[in-house]
Structure 1
Amino acid sequence: MTKKYDFLIFIGRFQPAHNAHIEIIREALKLAGQVIILIGSSFQPRTHKNPFTAEEREKLIRSAFESDKYHCETDLIFRYVSDKLYNDQQWALEVQSHVQDVLEEFGDGLASEMKVGIIGHKKDNSTFYLDMFPQWGDPVEFPNVKDLHATSIRDYYFNEKWNDDDPLSPDVFTEMCKDYLNDGIFNFMTDWRKTETFEYLSGEYSFYENYKAAWKDSPYPPTFVTVDGIVIQSGHVLLVRRRAFPGKGLWAIPGGFLNQGESVEDAVIRELREETKLKVPPAVLKGSIEESKVFDHPHRSLRGRTITHAHLILLNPGPLPPVKGGDDADKARWFSLEEILTMESQLFEDHYSI
């Protein structure tokens, strides 16, 4: 029987893939010959918001269709998409490029003659992207299943107050989430709780919860102001490795919170010297500031609303000055620009985008 679409596109983070996601894919398979599943946030470091790698997410989705009549290997086509927090059009270009590549590889005939659509659930402002691709027609909308959200599943999964060591206590993750997850995905997540990575992410989740609790009595939701210093010399960028939560072990742009009574320029120079021991006089650093820019994506930090003033500091070509980690950094190091381009999964928060 001829189907309405040759290809339907389904975009999501799938952290984790739950029954609503699986139902959308099943519906897409009824409507289209093949389904292109674009996994978002594919190259982010692991956090409690993005705990599973793109490869793990693809494997888990495929596992939900192992006993299905559909031929998972050929009917489900996966591609991985990176985040572009400050450039929606660049993100759209990456999506379009992936789809075009799939049409050329798997399509039968000219790409311009194929019937292509996009499917999804418009849950809130975060799904604005469903309307970014008019060339694929009106989105095929799918209703939410039992008001199910991956955020709630992750909260039950990582929150220590639900994971009591008392053997007589009910396992709240199992109690609350088992009915919303495919058996294979649920079993994977249950086993994954025994790993060191889960222990790390659970500890980081607790850090964030305690951090937010400290501000719960504030009369207004807090907005934090930070600074970052992108120092470039001779084709290299200076980074630090974070000593503690959040982002323990990840590389980051040197920076930190703005102190009372200091300008953002003074703050970035202070943070650079504290975290990298960079032996360049403060006056030279300040005079080498090429430009500054505000990065204020509402969800750029899991700590809460955090606005950073990033400063691009271009030092004259020459030997790279020695650096050493200090304060919040356990290590400082110069990276070539070529290396930086491969480090999206190793950089803290939105620092790769910056």
Structure 2
Amino acid sequence: MKFDYLVFIGRFQPFHAGHLAVVRQALAQAGKLIIICGSARQARSPRNPFNVAEREQLIRAALTTEEQARVFVVGCSDRMYNDQQWVTEVQSLVDKVVAVDTASVEQRATEFRVGIIGCSQSRASYYLDLFPQWPRVEVPEVADVQASAIRWVLWDKQGSGFADCVAQLPVPVFAWLDAFRHTETYAQLEEEWRYVQAFRQSWAVAPYPPTFVTADAVVIHSGHILLIRRKNLPGKGLWALPGGFVDQNEPIRDAAIRELREETRLKVPAPVLAGSIRASRVFDHPRRSLRGRTITHAYLIELTPTGEGLPKVRGSDDADRAKWVPLYEFQRMEAELFEDHFYIVNWFLGQI
């Protein structure tokens, strides 16, 4: 074998025939394969419908018993606005897998031959360049097999396209997904998908795809952060930053303060909130929102303790609840946060 371990990174939403072809090419060149599932702790959405445990189940169902014994599956967060944090987590996961797997071997983990496998021609392959220490194994992209297209027909329950995916999916994966289409989780995700499609259709006649501008408030007070729970689709029931779309005739900063006060009923005067802004940043990941290209301007607002405790808040407008969350508790809420709000907050926390 050329490698002791190869690393295969992807989202596998879902695991399809193209992924399976890469897995088998990897196992032909390495003793073992470490599969890293991205978006590991994000809330379920039409783009990220399956958690890591479900994706591992699908991966293993497609493999033989001998292949399964040579494959490790671990989850990794996206770290959407910090590539170095993401690279560090991937490196740490690989190191831990190798260390545990070789605990009884009298050889330093750093002496094992580790490589990374992927297709540099893929649209999402830039991450391969972030691991220059691992020799790269190039594989061709399997034509006409795309997870996004499979998800599209999966949600289109009224159409018959899903049956045509049988050739693009390993047989056990197709059967699992077919059964999934009759679950309550599927029904909730399909409802959100239909909402998003209707939203996108509403601006389909525009001469160019529009770019939406939103504003979000990251409000910190005495080791707590202010969150709201979304009342409507998309992301109904998920926790989020107070925020929303910018009106045509208002500055972006004013939009953030307006949305904050409307959604939380925070009894702090607007001038005080404006004077408490400590930092701001634009967050513009192209896939941060299913609704379309949406760029948000987020503002870090640090409120000064007054000896009267946390200001009272309550959900209003587009929020059915508002609450102060201890920051240590917030760090465990990644799977409960809307879109990229978890990553936005952590970017600001790194600047404090």
Q: When the two structures are superposed, what TM-score results if normalisation uses the length of structure 1?
A: 0.93
Which letter maps to 2:88?
A: L
The SS at the match of 1:244 is coil
Give the 5 Å matches for 1:60-75.
60-65=58-63, 68=64, 70-72=66-68, 74-75=69-70
Which letter maps to 2:46?
A: H
1:145 positional shift:
2.3
The SS at the match of 1:278 is coil
Determine the structure 1 residue equivalent to 2:117: 119
The number of aligned residues is 339
Determine the structure 1 residue equivalent to 2:317: 327
Which letter maps to 1:348?
A: F
Determine the structure 2 residue equivalent to 1:153: 150
Q: How many angstroms apart in 2 are the aligned matches of 1:263 and 1:328?
A: 21
1:197 positional shift:
1.1
Q: How many angstroms apart in 1 are the aligned matches of 2:16 and 2:62?
A: 10
Q: 1:214 to 1:275 in 2, by over 3 A?
A: same
- Deviation string for 1:271-300 (max 9, x for gaps)? 011100111111211111111111111111
Does structure 1 residue 233 correspond to structure 2 residue 221? yes
Contact 2:284 2:295 in 1 (8 A): yes
Match of 1:341 among 331, 335, 339: 331
Q: How many angstroms apart in 2 are the aligned matches of 1:305 and 1:69?
A: 43
Determine the structure 2 residue equivalent to 1:352: 342
Which letter maps to 1:111?
A: A
The SS at the match of 1:218 is coil
Contact 2:46 2:189 in 1 (8 A): yes
Determine the structure 2 residue equivalent to 1:131: 129
Q: How many angstroms apart in 2 are the aligned matches of 1:233 and 1:112?
A: 44
Match of 1:98 among 85, 93, 101: 93
The SS at the match of 1:9 is strand
The SS at the match of 1:321 is coil
The SS at the match of 1:308 is strand
Q: How many angstroms apart in 2 are the aligned matches of 1:146 and 1:134?
A: 27
Which letter maps to 1:172?
A: G
Which letter maps to 1:275?
A: E
1:161 positional shift:
4.2
Determine the structure 1 residue equivalent to 2:303: 315
Which letter maps to 1:147?
A: D
The SS at the match of 1:189 is helix
Determine the structure 2 residue equivalent to 1:168: none
Match of 2:75 among 70, 76, 80: 80
The SS at the match of 1:102 is helix
Contact 1:247 1:348 in 2 (8 A): yes
More moved, 243-252 vs 19-28: 19-28
Does structure 1 residue 172 correspond to structure 2 residue 167? no
- Deviation string for 1:204-223 (max 9, x for gaps)? 11111111111111122201
Q: How many angstroms apart in 2 are the aligned matches of 1:211 and 1:124?
A: 29
Give the 5 Å matches for 1:1-354.
3-65=1-63, 68=64, 70-72=66-68, 74-107=69-102, 108=105, 109-137=107-135, 139-162=136-159, 171-174=160-163, 176-317=164-305, 318=307, 319-354=309-344
Determine the structure 1 residue equivalent to 2:350: none
The SS at the match of 2:325 is strand
The SS at the match of 2:133 is helix
1:71 positional shift:
4.8
Q: Unaligned stretches of 5+ in structure 1?
A: 163-170
Q: Unaligned stretches of 5+ in structure 2?
A: 345-352
1:227 positional shift:
0.4
Which letter maps to 2:161?
A: V
- Deviation string for 1:123-171 (max 9, x for gaps)? 434111112211111x212222232100000000002441xxxxxxxx3
Which letter maps to 1:101?
A: K
Contact 2:122 2:141 in 1 (8 A): no
Which letter maps to 2:43?
A: P
Structure 1 segments (4+ residues) deviating >6 Å: none
Contact 1:160 1:206 in 2 (8 A): no
Q: When the two structures are superposed, what TM-score results if normalisation uses the length of structure 2?
A: 0.94
- Deviation string for 1:289-348 (max 9, x for gaps)? 111111111111111111111011111124111111111111111100011100111000
1:111 positional shift:
2.1
Which letter maps to 1:127?
A: S
1:199 positional shift:
0.7
Q: 1:336 to 1:23 in 2, by over 3 A?
A: same
More moved, 257-266 vs 337-346: 257-266
Determine the structure 2 residue equivalent to 1:165: none
Which letter maps to 1:245?
A: L
Residue identity over aligned pairs, in percent, reads 51
